[in-house]
Structure 1
Amino acid sequence: MKEFTQIKENCLYIKDLQKAKKFYHHTLGLEIIHHEEEKHIFFRVGSSVLLCFNPEDSKLKTSPPAHYAEGNQHFAFEVNQAEYENVKNKVQKLGITIIDTIVWKGGEESFYFHDPENNVLEVVPTGVWS
């Protein structure tokens, strides 16, 4: 639908929400906007929200409908093109290992790293999908 303007939420399924809190809030600095122990933790990312659900809890829900996933999930953080190298350096200084770097058709570079649950996170500069 043309009326859709963006993906407002992205969801990861994470069994250890305390590790998620430490990584996403304390290490990456994302603001916590809601947290229920053993159930879920939500983070603000710019104008979007990163939802981290405990899959053992969320697959039993009736409202909102049950949902869960297994295995390594993926999403990308977007940064201003002028800040890309700075963010890459900050990630490395935090002791986070960059596991891959790709140069896309348009010449833009993105890099990948893991969170504590082994999900594959990416940082892309604005313009990658333009």
Structure 2
Amino acid sequence: MHPNTEGILESSLYVTDLARSVSFYKKIFGFEVIGDFGERGCAMKAGKRHVLLLFKKGGSLNIVSPHDGDGELHLAFAIGADELTRWGAWLAENGITVEETQAWKLGGHSLYFRDPDRHLLEVATPGVWTIY
């Protein structure tokens, strides 16, 4: 039998302008920096037990590190059902376009939008998956 995990601890995004991305995630999500890797990147508290790592694209190439990536990635953030309308208004207030809204078969709802590096972000209410 396989050993257990307790879920995903870290997720990484690779960005072109670290300061711009940190500012975006602080302002839009309220995330705080909990680890500073200098020009290479940082760690942000993205929930009770989740860390969002922001790495400068190509910032790890001069050191021995497996951290680098490219392309537009996707992350979804859990929100309460009563927060969906507030999120829509908050994004509009901050000039962020909601690219898609989705009503899921299990009763959940999602809003999709982009960060400054065009990573596709989602805020999702319970009822998106059988486990959430």
Both structures adopt the same fold (TM-score exceeding 0.5): yes
AA matched with 2:80: N
Aligned position for 2:53:
51
Task: Name structure 2 gaps, 5 residues minimum.
Answer: none
The aligned counterpart of 2:115 is: 115
* Residue equivalent to 2:22: 21
Could you tell me how far apart the structure 2 residues matched to 1:52 and 1:40 are?
5
Q: Partner amino acid for 1:103?
A: A
Cα deviation, residue 76, structure 1: 0.5
After superposition, give the CA deviation of every residue in 1:20-54 in whole Å (9 maximum; x if it has no partner). 11101134321111223320021111121100011
TM superposition outliers: structure 1 runs of 4+ over 6 Å: none
1:26-37 paired onto structure 2 within 5 Å: 26-37=27-38
Distance, in Å, in 2 between the alignment partners of 1:50 and 1:21 is 10
Show the counterpart of 2:10.
Answer: 9
CA distance in 2, matches of 1:2, 1:113: 36
Q: CA deviation at 1:116?
A: 0.5
What's the secondary structure of 2:100's corresponding residue? Answer: strand
TM-score (norm 2): 0.85
Q: Does 1:124 align with 2:127?
A: no
Q: What fraction of aligned residue pairs are identical, expressed as a percent?
A: 33
Per-residue CA deviations over 1:71-117 (Å, capped at 9, x if unaligned) read 10110111112222222222222221111112222132201111011
**Which one has a larger percent strand, Structure 1 or Structure 2?**
1
Query: In 2, distance between residues paired with 1:97 and 1:2?
Result: 42
Cα root mean square deviation, aligned: 1.8
Q: Is the 8 A contact 1:60 1:66 kept in 2?
A: no
With 93-102 and 1-10 compared, the bigger mean Cα shift is at: 1-10
Length, aligned pairs only: 128
